Structure 1
Amino acid sequence: MNLASALTAGFAADVNIDQDTINLGNQLMYMGNVVLEIPSNMLLHWIGPQKWISAQVIMFGTTACLQVFVTNRAAFIATRLILGLTEAGYIPGGLYTLSTWYTRPELARRVAVFFFGMFGGNAMSPLLAAGILQLEGTRGLRGWQWLFLVEGLFTICVGVSLFLLLPGCPEQPRPFGSPGLVKFSTQDLTILQERLEAENPERKSATQGSHVPWAVVVQTVCQYRRWLHFLSSFCVFSTWSPLTTYTPSIIMSLGFTRIQANALAAVGASLALVVIFIFAWLSDRTQQRGATVLAGQSCYLVVLVVARFVHPHVGKWPRWALWTAINSFAVGYHPAHNTWLQVNCKDPRERSISIAMWCMSSISGMMVGARYFRAEDGPYYPQGLQLMIIMVSVGMLFAAGQMVVYIMHNKRLAKSSITARDGKGIMVYRP
């Protein structure tokens, strides 16, 4: 999002790049994520979340700061790629770490809170940019340079804080670099471990010092019953990519000033947090994971269709309202979708790799989606919206297919008269 705000401050003209180059840079950033997603989660198991996740955030923040020195196309592309490489594994690592602390029935809300960081950043970034960009010319730096510098330094501070404060796992909760803020008594730890073991008697400590062999990776990749999860996420999440890059610019093209556009762009991203938590709450409340995902995707599809056909016939403020609605529902299903995948993985190592694959598919979708909004289709991108409608529709079909796969598998188990219970060697899939 700071790139999206930088574009409203003349970044593209200053470094002499066009919209195709911006899209290419974003694609390379997403590619960096995809390439190192699984190896990163394997490292997480080996050295633990405190050290690995903290190191990733510090490296990412340092690269973000170095964007201050971007002056040409080559430097822009290089920093985009490095940002992707340093970020790879952070989201699946964080999601997997959460799954080692909470039981399945309560996981969706925690996953939603985790994603508040990602999607809340989209809400806060334009607001921060509205202020930071006013430093234009201070100490000889452009506004977009201040934007990259300030937000990069803040990210480094977050990485150091994680190193000092992030708990490890229920067996070893003390943070690596300090006593931590949360103190666990012996009774607390006993209760915590017993409730996790009650859900899965074969549970093992699996966040530090463990090894994920490549055989488990291959076995997880070949588990075809979960492939539709990845395809659905690829299709629907791809539509979020152009929104993160061009929403402020689209709002600015409606006739708002740069500062107004960045502030107004934050409204949809802020409302998205409410939508995310509502669907996460429904997912935990009803335990109907697939139905919740389809409900979230359906709401998004309806908003896209309305925007596509109403947009050309309304004025400035209704157009802003339509783009705000699109951003509000664009990711509401996403945390619930991740939880749906997680509760259908039994072995911790399998769950870790599956989460990485899910993130790889989502980010691969964003890599493709970076091309949905083309310069010749601007400033309101009707063809881009049409393509988004198609991709969401296809993604919904894959999600519905995933529900059918799980239901049919469970019926086969029932017909075979197998006692299908967690912890007994048979996996009951949760549609």
Structure 2
Amino acid sequence: MSTVKDVSKDSLHSTEKVADTDSSGTSSIHGAEAAVFEKRVWWKLDLSVLGVITMFYLLSWLDRTNLGNARVAGLQKDLKLTNDQYSIALTVTFVPYIIAELPSNLLLKVVGPDRLLPTLLTLWGIVTTLQGVIHNYAGLLACRFFLGLLEGGVLPGLVLYLSLFYPREHLQKRVSAVFASSSLAGAFSGLLAAGIMEMSGKGGRPGWAWIFILEGLFTVIFGVFTFFVLPSSPSRCSLLSEKEKEYVIQRLREDGAISKDDRADAFSWGEVLRAFQLPQVWFSLFIFFFHGTILYSLSYFAPSIIQGLGYTANQAQLMSVPPYAAAFVCTLVLSYIADKYHCRGAVVMFCGTCCVVGFAMFLSSHNHAVQYGSLFLTLSGINTGAPTITTWTANNTAPHVRRASAIAVVCMFTNIGGILSTWLLGSLSAPPRYTKATAVLLAFAVGLTLFAAINTAYLYYQNKKKAEIRATITKEDEPAGLGDRSAWFEYIL
């Protein structure tokens, strides 16, 4: 049987020494050889898990936000919807979405992520496809309700799932890869919609209907495929050897990502409640609410905003691609910085500042080129902030049930912000300037930046207190079951 030991740790980025005892005796690897071993382990996990999960979120984002592309393609006109009815259709998606998030995340470990996540993916793909055959407003509302109900557990579930495979210092790069797919989805949705609109009239259906049908069918096919490839845990990952599985599990335990005592990760309503007692979670609720309002406002209405600048429907679909492509690059670059320098709060503040500048440009200028250029700042800022704030929450809560609850509840506030976004640009602010909505989003960008600073300061202060405690007691003197409140659990800033 093999054992894995971490023998040198300057920081979270340490060089490990891996010792393996087999039937022939004990051999050890260290230095460059250990670094190669570690890279191979994470590469195998990325191959087994990350690619699939990234596609999960890309399809989730595409199927949730393609209503904006369908609107530009003629859905609102064909179904004879008022602006209020369109906003209600968007709102109906968020209500069951919010309700489903916490129960789904608590069920993830019980049912098994390899069963629950593919099931949700396949079913919401079916609902997306059905949106292509609706003929009236009632049919649209029914589809949006069930889409929200099935997708509600996806985002918090994916983040929680990744936290079961990667220690904290490796987590944001993976979460960022997943969230970067939303930027790709935003870019691809414009390209796909522009191409699919050419099918208008085929089979007697308009172009907007084919957007739902084709994108939904692909989701269904991929969902069925994931039943056969998604591992439930590192110990069930077929690409890893036994030694590599033990190494991953040991790293997760040393990092506090999973508990050394499996009983600490068992379900407890007490741990659910403790998630609501953490100040960093409360600060995050404001961050997520502001972030969600901005994110969904831009995601659902970017094609309409661009069309309001004087472009045709097809041009607006294509013109939405460059800002999302820039957001994709920014997400990867800044996430690498956040992981390397452990500066999640600073990255969130930078992203918030980008949004402040972008909205100020859109609000103050009447030049269409400047207004279009502002989308590069706002979309890059808000899309880059998404993986950072989500990883920040996952990094700083433990054990499992407390983390699952915290991730779910902050994501709920993202979607409460989403509800507000459907009315800000849908009914309460007139195109093409969207003056009232832009002013609100500007204020929210300021609030996002401010609460990111407050949360960073709080975590810094708590780490100082924990260091003082560690200087006076030993780990054995500390009560068990403290999770992230332990003096030996250092918060990531």
Residues 124 and 308 of structure 1: is their aligned pair in 2 closer, same or farther, counting only changes over 3 Å? Answer: same
Bigger drift between 402-411 and 38-47 goes to 402-411
The equivalent residue for 1:279 is: 334
The answer to whether structure 1 residue 360 and structure 2 residue 412 are counterparts is: yes
- Tell me if structure 2 keeps the 8 A contact 1:17–1:72: no
Q: CA deviation at 1:89?
A: 0.9
- Tell me if structure 2 keeps the 8 A contact 1:374–1:381: no
Alpha-carbon separation, structure 2, partners of 1:216 and 1:414: 25
Bigger drift between 376-385 and 106-115 goes to 376-385
Q: CA deviation at 1:385?
A: 0.9
Bigger drift between 295-304 and 412-421 goes to 412-421
Q: 1:13 aligns with which of 68, 74, 77?
A: 77
Taking structure 1 as the reference length, what is the TM-score of the superposition?
0.91
The answer to whether structure 1 residue 47 and structure 2 residue 103 are counterparts is: no
Q: 1:242 aligns with which of 283, 297, 316?
A: 297
2:232 maps to amino acid: G
Question: How do 1:38-117 residues align onto structure 2 when only pairs under 5 Å count?
Answer: 38-117=102-181
- 1:90-111, Cα deviation, whole Å (9 max, x unpaired): 1111111111111111211110
User: Which has the greater radius of gyration?
Assistant: 2
Q: 1:35 aligns with which of 91, 99, 105?
A: 99
Q: 1:264 aligns with which of 319, 329, 338?
A: 319
Q: 1:171 aligns with which of 221, 235, 241?
A: 235
**Where does structure 1 lack aligned partners over 5 or more consecutive residues?**
175-182
**Where does structure 2 lack aligned partners over 5 or more consecutive residues?**
1-64, 476-482
The answer to whether structure 1 residue 159 and structure 2 residue 223 are counterparts is: yes
Q: CA deviation at 1:415?
A: 4.7
The equivalent residue for 2:479 is: none
The equivalent residue for 1:179 is: none
- Tell me if structure 1 keeps the 8 A contact 2:355–2:442: no
- Tell me if structure 2 keeps the 8 A contact 1:45–1:212: no
Q: CA deviation at 1:372?
A: 1.4
Alpha-carbon separation, structure 2, partners of 1:420 and 1:95: 33
Alpha-carbon separation, structure 1, partners of 2:165 and 2:151: 23
The answer to whether structure 1 residue 371 and structure 2 residue 423 are counterparts is: yes
Q: CA deviation at 1:146?
A: 0.8
The equivalent residue for 1:404 is: 457
The equivalent residue for 2:435 is: 382
Residues 338 and 420 of structure 1: is their aligned pair in 2 closer, same or farther, counting only changes over 3 Å? Answer: farther
Alpha-carbon separation, structure 1, partners of 2:142 and 2:269: 30
2:195 maps to amino acid: G
Bigger drift between 272-281 and 254-263 goes to 254-263
Alpha-carbon separation, structure 1, partners of 2:322 and 2:258: 45
RCO higher in 1 or 2 (8 Å CA, sep ≥ 6)? Answer: 1
Q: CA deviation at 1:305?
A: 1.3
- 1:265-296, Cα deviation, whole Å (9 max, x unpaired): 12111211111112211111111221221122
The equivalent residue for 2:247 is: 191
2:491 maps to amino acid: Y
Question: How do 1:206-245 residues align onto structure 2 when only pairs under 5 Å count?
Answer: 212-245=267-300
Bigger drift between 1-10 and 86-95 goes to 1-10
The answer to whether structure 1 residue 346 and structure 2 residue 402 are counterparts is: no
- Tell me if structure 1 keeps the 8 A contact 2:79–2:137: yes
Aligned-pair Cα RMSD in Å: 2.2
Q: 1:132 aligns with which of 173, 177, 196?
A: 196
The equivalent residue for 1:178 is: none
Q: CA deviation at 1:5?
A: 1.1
Taking structure 2 as the reference length, what is the TM-score of the superposition?
0.80
Identity %: 26
Question: How do 1:194-205 residues align onto structure 2 when only pairs under 5 Å count?
Answer: 194-200=250-256, 203=259
